[in-house]
């Protein structure tokens, strides 16, 4: 572990580097190039928080050919598919990725369009890498004969203070840059890791199949020389080599994106393992102000209370929950996880919470439903998944059992928000309206949903300050 005294700051790092390349006009040029192509950028999102940097695009929660055909016909060059694989076992994650690749290839061939896969995952390096990029690469090669020259690894997520410098990924806490291997996220029971240096992380995650020295690197010095310098690195990629991308700002990312489009024009083909910021840049999505209160409340439901569903167990979420519970008049409905895990006690515990939630929401009170904060975990990965899925299933059942349309719905945590969306609200396709705060997206539910046409706030477990969850409710209530 690196001692706190040795932690550098973002300002100190920036001071050592050349100035950013002037990116004025780059985003517009990126969008123009994308619009001129007969291609779709398809983001496979392993939990529903990945749309946290984009707006005015669709997210699909299913991937049948009919729905994919609609997405290919839509005017936007970008759409998302929510796979939720981070909340599933490896075998299921592999099956889902293969199925999507096959369906996408079939629809793309029918439409006469090309596509690019972006495998979007956690900015703290949790998820099924290299499994997902391996599977997508295999299926694309088998079905189309196309092989990738490189797999770009880009975990930077600026809105939440995740940056990559000197090949090491960092979390910004205040002014300090904390190497990600020192954070609680690196100790994840399922997706933990030892290395924050991404070349070493690739070697660790591929179990030595790819050595750290085999990785290509795009440095900040190269990015700040402009697109030509970066394109030169990309043109040297062969054999689906991992390409580690360093980035501190959107100016850095826009240089990368333009260089990528230029390298693709010269015949290069890439697949991506990234966090959320890259997608905004690569697709040429413009900046947008945070959504106003009016976009966060279900029309006609103003007299009802709202509901916040909290499943995430990370320490940041627990601290955010503590602040939320200070909101005047909010009703705390705690689910006893030990009771939920006891088949004999499950129905009684869930029934108690359902009854109270329906009553308070109908009376106009905001409620927060949360799992008890004591983390129940075992050493066996499969059993940990079962525990997680049982708790998430309980939260879903509560949402399914709502009799009154809440004036707002917030789901906290990746697995929780995915299950609430797909199972609790039965969303098949939603529109991403934008964000309520940095990294916190808002969907509008489709006609098929349990509650149609209402805003659904997807609040990641690892995003925001300690008061951000409270401030979101305060914004809705104008407090």
Mean pLDDT of 200-210: 98
pLDDT value for 180: 97
**Is the CB of residue 106 less than 8 Å from the CB of residue 65?**
yes
Q: Which residues pair with 430 in a beta bridge?
A: 59
Q: State the average pLDDT over residues 195-204.
A: 98
Given a cut of 60, whether residue 3 has pLDDT beyond it is: no
Condensed to tens digits (0 to 9), the pLDDT of residues 412-447 reads 988 888 889 999 999 999 999 999 999 999 999 999
- At residue 375 the predicted structure's pLDDT band, cuts being 50, 70 and 90, is low
Average pLDDT estimate for 346-365: 96
**Tell me, what's the pLDDT at 185?**
92
Beta-ladder partners of 43:
80, 118
Q: Closest Cα partner for 42 from 131, 122, 115, 151?
A: 115
Whole-number mean pLDDT of the chain? 94
CA torsion, ordered 181, 183, 189, 190, to nearest 10 deg: -60
- Which has the closest alpha carbon to 121: 188, 68, 71? 188
pLDDT at 316: 85
* Nearest-angstrom CA–CA distance, 427 and 456: 10
Across residues 51-66, what is the average pLDDT?
97
- Asked whether 124 and 156 are in contact (CB, 8 A), the reply is no
Confidence at residue 1, expressed as pLDDT on a 0 to 100 scale = 37
Range with the poorest average pLDDT among 259-268, 287-296, 367-376: 367-376
Q: How confident is the model at residue 406 (pLDDT cuts 50, 70, 90)?
A: very high
* Cβ 153 vs Cβ 278: under 8 Å: no
Place of tokens 């839509």: 74
Q: Quick check: 389 pLDDT over 90? A: no
Tell me what the mean pLDDT of segment 72-84 comes to. 97
Q: What is the pLDDT of residues 154-165, one digit of tens each?
A: 999 999 999 999
Residues of the chain with CATH 3.40.980.20: 293-477
pLDDT band of 5, cuts 50, 70, 90: very low
In CATH terms, the fold of domain 293-477 is Molybdenum Cofactor Biosythetic Enzyme; Chain A (3.40.980)
Instruction: Kindly indicate the confidence band of residue 388, based on its pLDDT and cuts at 50, 70 and 90.
Output: confident
Q: Give how far Cα 465 sits from Cα of 159, 161, 211, 469, Å.
A: 12, 11, 37, 8
What 3-state DSSP class applies to 149? coil
Strand, coil or helix: 169: strand
> Taking residues 398-402, what's their average pLDDT?
96
- pLDDT at residue 267 greater than cutoff 50: yes
Residue 4, pLDDT score:
45
pLDDT-derived band at 372 (thresholds 50, 70, 90) equals: confident
Whether the pLDDT of residue 313 is over 80: the answer is no
Please give the pLDDT value at position 189.
Answer: 86
* Helix (H), strand (E), coil (C) string for 253-286: HHHHHHHHHHHHHCCCCEEEEECHHHHHHHCCCC
The pLDDT value given to residue 312: 74
Q: Which residue has the tokens 């509901």?
A: 307
353 contacts 402 by C-beta, under 8 angstroms: no
- Residues in contact with 350: Cβ distance below 8 Å, sequence separation at least 6, in sequence order: 335, 340, 394, 397, 398
Average pLDDT of span 370-386: 70
Token reading at 271: 């697949």
* Residue 80 to residue 285: CA distance in whole angstroms: 14
pLDDT at 130: 98
* Residues of each domain in the chain carrying CATH 3.40.50.10840: 4-282
The answer to whether 159 and 438 have CB atoms below 8 angstroms apart is yes
Entry field: residues in the chain: 479
Q: What is the DSSP string of 198-236?
A: HHHHHHHHTTTSS-GGG-EEE-HHHHTT-HHHHHHHHHT
User: Residue with structure tokens 């729905």?
Assistant: 67
How much is the pLDDT for 317? 86
pLDDT confidence band for 376 (50 / 70 / 90): low
pLDDT of residue 212 exceeding 90, the answer is yes
Residue 460 has what pLDDT? 86
Q: For residue 382, give the H/E element and its range.
A: helix 381-400
pLDDT in tens, 13-28: 999 999 999 989 999 9
pLDDT digits (tens, 9 = 90+) for 30-50: 999 999 999 999 999 998 889
- Looking at CATH, the fold of the domain delimited by 4-282 is given as Rossmann fold (3.40.50)
């Amino acid at each position: 572990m690196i001692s706190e005294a040795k932690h550098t700051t973002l300002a100190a790092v920036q001071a050592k580097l050349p100035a950013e390349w002037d990116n004025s006009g780059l985003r517009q040029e990126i969008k123009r190039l994308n619009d001129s192509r007969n291609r779709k950028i398809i983001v496979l999102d392993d939990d529903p928080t990945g749309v946290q940097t984009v707006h005015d695009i669709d997210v699909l929660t299913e991937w049948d050919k009919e729905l994919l055909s609609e997405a290919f016909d839509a005017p936007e060059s970008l759409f998302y598919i929510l796979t939720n694989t981070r909340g599933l076992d490896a075998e299921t994650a592999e099956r889902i990725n293969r199925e999507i690749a096959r369906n996408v290839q079939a629809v793309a061939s029918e439409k006469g369009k090309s596509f690019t896969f972006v495998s979007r995952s956690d900015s703290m390096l949790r998820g099924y890498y290299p499994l997902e990029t391996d599977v997508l690469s295999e299926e694309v090669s088998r079905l189309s004969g196309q092989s990738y020259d490189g797999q770009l690894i880009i975990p930077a997520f600026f809105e939440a203070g995740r940056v990559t410098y000197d090949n090491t990924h960092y979390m910004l806490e205040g002014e300090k840059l904390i190497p990600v291997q020192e954070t609680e996220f690196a100790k994840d029971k399922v997706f933990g890791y030892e290395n924050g240096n991404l070349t070493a992380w690739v070697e660790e995650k591929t179990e030595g199949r790819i050595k750290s020295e085999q990785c290509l690197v795009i440095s900040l010095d190269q990015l700040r020389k402009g697109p030509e310098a970066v394109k030169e690195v990309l043109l040297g990629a062969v054999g689906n080599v991992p390409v580690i991308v360093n980035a501190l700002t959107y100016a850095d990312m826009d240089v990368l994106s333009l260089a990528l489009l230029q390298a693709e024009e010269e015949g290069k083909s890439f697949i991506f393992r990234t966090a959320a910021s890259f997608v905004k840049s690569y697709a040429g999505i413009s900046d947008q102000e945070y959504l106003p209160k009016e976009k966060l409340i279900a029309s006609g439901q103003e007299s009802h209370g709202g509901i916040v569903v909290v499943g995430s167990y990370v320490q940041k979420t627990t601290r955010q929950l503590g602040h939320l519970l200070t909101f005047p008049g909010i009703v705390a409905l705690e689910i006893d996880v030990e009771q939920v895990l006891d088949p004999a006690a499950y129905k009684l515990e869930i029934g108690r919470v359902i009854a109270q939630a329906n009553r308070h929401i109908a009376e106009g009170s905001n409620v927060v439903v949360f799992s008890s904060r004591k983390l129940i975990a075992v050493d066996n990965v499969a059993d940990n998944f079962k525990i997680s899925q049982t708790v998430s299933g309980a939260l879903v059942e509560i949402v399914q059992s709502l009799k009154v349309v809440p004036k707002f719905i917030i789901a906290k945590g990746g697995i929780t928000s995915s299950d609430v969306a797909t199972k609790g609200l039965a969303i098949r396709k939603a529109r991403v309206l934008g964000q309520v705060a940095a990294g916190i997206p808002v969907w509008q539910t489709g006609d098929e949903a349990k509650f149609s046409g209402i805003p659904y706030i997807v609040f990641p477990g690892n995003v925001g300050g300690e008061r951000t969850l409270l401030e979101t409710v305060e914004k809705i209530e104008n407090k």
